[in-house]
Amino acid sequence: MNAEETPDPPSQAQMPGLPDMQSLLEQATAMQQQLLQAQQELGDARVTGTAGGGVVTATVSGTGELVSLVIDPSVCDPAEVETLADLVVAAVHDATTGAMRLASDQMSAFTGPFGDESGPTGKLGF
């Protein structure tokens, strides 16, 4: 090698212990595709919650968006509007809790220990 030549950068084989960047990039791309698919599935999923023994039924998407609300006519007493409102809130809460559980279950493959909110450190692990 003369003064004008520059040495080739070390290859992966010459630098043991360093990650293969191409492999990491492929893994990241695959994980991104899986995450997008999981998010789409959550958006398409439907979770139903009920209150008052089923007289109020709320349906939310897997992302928590309210998509349907069914109220049995037997609870539509003008004198009991406050009770009806409480039942609606309870049914929506029940459905939303189910959607959050579904999302947590589905996304745990991507978040690993950082998605566990039950520990003393919370959702992000710190």
pTM comes to 0.61
Query: What are the backbone dihedrals phi and psi of residue 23, each rounded to the nearest 5 degrees, phi first?
Result: -65, -40
Share in percent of the chain as helix, strand, coil (round to 5)? 55, 15, 30
The CATH number of 43-101 is 3.30.1310.10
Calculate helix-pair angle for 21-44, 81-111, nearest 10 degrees: 160
For the chain, domain boundaries: 43-101
The strand pairing partners of 51, in sequence order, are 56
Cβ count within 10 A of residue 56: 24
Per-residue pLDDT of the chain (126 residues; tens, 9 = 90+): 555 666 666 555 556 677 788 888 888 898 889 888 988 988 899 999 999 999 999 999 988 889 999 999 988 888 888 999 999 999 999 999 999 998 888 888 777 766 555 544 344 333
Cβ count within 10 A of residue 80: 12
In contact, 45 and 102? CB cutoff 8 Å: yes
